[in-house]
């Protein structure tokens, strides 16, 4: 059974991990697909904005100015650096107008996208009629020339496209006009600053549904495992109870069998003393069997079935009388110290059932090695209760078992408790009696350091 439980738990955990993996894969694929969709939509929006007459006319402003600067450079009126600086200054001058146009057009496509745009120079070269090529600006340049847009970091940029402006341009030189082939390469990039917000908003339904499904499966798995352990524990407790009750019944039944054989034997005929002794044995064992059956029946009652006959009485007097009678039934080697306060506040309870509960705890303490007991009674002003305590110096109760000791049929299965007989009903019955009084019962204990049982009954005004 234990092996099957472990295999079932391992299989369930493996299934849960597999489900998490599948969900993660599906969400990742959805994320990738949504990312591509947003990228395509953003590119289309930028393409529609960029390929307009207004933007085209803005672009020709820096192009025409660059052609003039190139002519000045070829006639050696300015240096190459001055030519590139002039291009940078011209694009800076016209960029504010482009950004105004760009942002206005972007709003026409809705507020979903927060897309930044930039167009930078990649390379510039000219080739004369003889095929001699001069590189005016190289891709290796660290100083990037921004043509249009915002200059955001390249690490955050997504390439949209590369373009080349080619122009056969005639330049008037001192030696006469000459034809030059201009190759002006540029790249367009975009950056979606609200990328995560867009994707999360688009996938929010899927994420919520996946999370709820995951929590449901985890909760179902947890409940199933808890229920499995509970059923396993109940099965063990029932088996233990059957073994105990069988053991308890065997002794009187064996004695009854022997007494019956004695009565029917030849030696008993005419022997009144032997016959009388056998009858007394049968009577005692019959009473013992009846008491055992009554114990099982009565102790199995829940607190809802316990019919209380409550009355008001002095808790101090009640406990003293109970202990006086109880001390007559126990060994002289067991001592009971008393710490009983005369509170003057009457307790409203059922004397019979309350005394049964306290006696059960006293019997339990002695049964598990208690030789010195301390019984107390006082008023707890913090929670307005009559408080009874029973402290012993017995073997104690491990913390891992303390939450189970008030369960029906439960007996601690540690090695040092196997020699103590019982049906696991005494503390259960005690807890039901206290619950019927709307009270609470708890235990404080450590192994080999004894135990303290605390009963609290509400003060009824």
Q: pLDDT tier at 362 (50, 70, 90 boundaries)? A: very high
3-class secondary-structure state, position 155: helix
pLDDT in the model for residue 300? 57
Residue written as token pair 């067991």: 334
Query: What local confidence, expressed as pLDDT, does residue 440 receive?
Result: 95
Lowest mean pLDDT among 152-156, 408-412, 438-442: 408-412
Range of the domain at 120: 52-193
What band does 443 get if pLDDT is binned at 50, 70 and 90?
very high
Residues 326 and 452 in one domain: yes
Could you tell me if residue 406 is inside a domain? yes
Domain contains 225: no
Question: Is 315 found in the same domain as 189?
Answer: no
Written as six digits, the tokens of 213 are 């499904």
pLDDT in tens, 254-266: 777 777 777 777 6
Q: Is residue 154 part of a domain?
A: yes
- Note the pTM of the prediction, 2 decimals: 0.46
Say if residue 416's pLDDT is above 50.
no
Q: Note whether residue 40 is domain-resident.
A: no
Look at residues 162, 193, 224 and tell me which one is the last residue of a structural domain. Answer: 193
Of the candidates 455, 411, 406, 410, the residue with the CA atom closest to the CA atom of residue 428: 406
- CA distances in angstroms from 348 to 112, 132, 386, 427, 434, listed in the order given: 72, 115, 10, 22, 12
Residues 309-337, mean pLDDT to the nearest whole number: 90
> Would residue 102 count as lying in a domain?
yes
Does 423 score more than 70 pLDDT? no
Q: Please report, rounded to a whole number, the percentage of residues in the chain having pLDDT higher than 90.
A: 25
Residue 9 lies in a domain: no
Classify residue 249: in a domain, yes or no: no
What CATH number does the domain containing 363 carry?
3.30.565.10
Give the pLDDT band of residue 458 (cuts 50, 70, 90): very high
- Tell whether the model's pLDDT for residue 457 goes beyond 90: yes
Confidence check: pLDDT of 417 > 50? no
Residue for token digits 């609290």? 456
CA distance 377 to 456: 10
User: Which whole number is the average pLDDT over 337-363?
Assistant: 91
Per-residue pLDDT band at 240 (split at 50, 70, 90): low
Q: Is residue 142 part of a domain?
A: yes
Burial of 246 (0-12, 13-18, 19+ CB in 10 A): exposed
Residue 319: is its pLDDT beyond 70?
Answer: yes
Of residues 306 and 361, more confidence is placed in: 361
Mean pLDDT, to the nearest integer, of 309-334? 90
Domain finish residue from 132, 162, 193 = 193
* Structural domain ending residue among the three candidates 143, 167, 193: 193
Q: 422 or 282: whose pLDDT is higher?
A: 282
Q: Which of 114-118, 182-186, 293-297, 412-416 has the lowest mean pLDDT?
A: 412-416
Greater model confidence, 43 or 141: 43
Count up the domains in the chain and report the number. Answer: 2
Mean pLDDT in residue range 122-137? 89
Of 92 and 199, the structure prediction assigns the larger pLDDT to 92
Asked whether residue 392 carries a pLDDT value surpassing 70, the answer given is: yes
Kindly state the helix (H) or strand (E) to which residue 201 belongs, with its residue range. helix 195-264
| pLDDT score, position 113 | 67
For the chain, what is the radius of gyration of the CA atoms?
47
pLDDT greater at residue 172 or residue 72 = 72
Q: Is 149 exposed, middle or buried (0-12, 13-18, 19+ CB in 10 A)?
A: buried
> For the chain, what is the mean pLDDT?
82
């Amino acid at each position: 059974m234990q092996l099957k439980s472990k295999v079932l738990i391992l299989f369930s955990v493996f299934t849960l991990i597999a489900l998490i993996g599948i969900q993660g894969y599906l969400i990742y694929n959805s994320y990738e697909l949504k990312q591509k969709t947003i990228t395509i939509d953003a590119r289309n929006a930028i393409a529609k904005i960029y390929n307009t007459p207004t933007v085209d006319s803005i672009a020709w402003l820096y192009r025409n100015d660059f052609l003039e600067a190139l002519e000045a450079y070829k006639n050696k009126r300015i240096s190459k650096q001055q030519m590139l600086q002039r291009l940078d200054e011209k694009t800076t001058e016209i960029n504010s107008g482009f950004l105004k146009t760009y942002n206005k057009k972007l709003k026409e496509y809705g507020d979903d996208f927060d897309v930044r745009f930039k167009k930078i120079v990649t390379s510039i070269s000219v080739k004369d009629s003889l095929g001699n090529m001069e590189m005016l600006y190289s891709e290796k340049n660290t100083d990037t020339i921004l043509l249009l847009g915002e200059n955001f970091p390249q690490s955050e940029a997504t390439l949209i496209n590369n373009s080349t402006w080619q122009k056969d341009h005639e330049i008037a030189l001192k030696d006469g006009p000459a034809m030059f082939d201009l190759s002006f390469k540029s790249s367009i990039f975009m950056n979606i600053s609200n990328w995560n917000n867009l994707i999360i908003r688009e996938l929010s339904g899927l994420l919520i549904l996946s999370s709820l499904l995951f929590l449901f499966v985890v909760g179902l798995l947890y409940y199933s495992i808890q229920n499995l352990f509970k059923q396993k524990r109940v099965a063990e407790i029932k088996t233990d109870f059957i073994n105990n009750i069988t053991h308890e019944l065997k002794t009187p039944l064996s004695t009854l069998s022997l007494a019956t054989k004695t009565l029917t034997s030849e030696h008993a005929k005419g022997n009144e003393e032997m016959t009388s002794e056998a009858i007394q044995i049968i009577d005692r064992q019959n009473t013992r069997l009846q008491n055992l059956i009554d114990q099982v029946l009565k102790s199995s009652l829940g607190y809802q079935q316990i019919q209380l006959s409550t009355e008001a009485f002095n808790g101090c007097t009640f406990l003293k009388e109970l202990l006086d009678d109880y001390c007559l039934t126990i060994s002289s080697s067991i001592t009971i110290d008393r710490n009983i306060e005369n509170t003057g506040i009457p307790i409203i309870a059922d004397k019979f059932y309350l005394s049964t509960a306290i006696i059960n705890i006293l019997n339990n303490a002695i049964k598990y090695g208690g030789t010195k007991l301390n019984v107390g009674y006082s008023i707890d002003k913090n929670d307005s209760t009559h408080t009874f305590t029973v402290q012993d110096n017995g073997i104690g109760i491990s913390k891992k078992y303390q939450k189970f000791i008030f369960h029906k049929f439960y007996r601690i299965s540690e090695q040092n408790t196997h020699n103590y007989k019982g049906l696991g009903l005494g503390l259960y019955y005690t807890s039901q009696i206290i619950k019927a009084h709307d009270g609470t019962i708890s235990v404080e204990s450590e192994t080999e350091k004894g135990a303290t049982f605390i009963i609290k009954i509400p003060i009824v005004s």
